[in-house]
Amino acid sequence: MISVQGTFQNGGVVLAQPVNLPEGAHVRVTSDDNADVCCDGSLWDDSAEGRRKWLEWFDALDPAFSNEEAEQLQIMLRRMRDEQKPLQAQRDLMIERMFE
């Protein structure tokens, strides 16, 4: 017995790799709906080795923001929250009225 992965598309199963099965071979298809699937459709490897590899990959990523950019973003977000504070009471009242 062989095991291959695939994706259900347009009413059929598209296999991730070619298989050498005779025409008319009986197959069993099971769904991994509850399994964690990566964005490329492969199953998430939740083994210790899989987690180690993911952490290694993640730690190798470049930061999304420089320290200076992150500080500027925090300042901007703080300023925006401060500007919105006076509106909070009005928003809370509107939400309350929705459920009366």
Domain ranges in the chain? 6-45, 62-100
Q: For all residues of the chain together, what is the average pLDDT?
A: 88
Give the predicted TM-score (pTM) of the model: 0.38
How far is residue 1's CA from residue 70's CA, in Å, rounded to a whole number?
A: 53
Tell me what the mean pLDDT of segment 54-74 comes to.
94
Tell me what the mean pLDDT of segment 39-61 comes to.
88
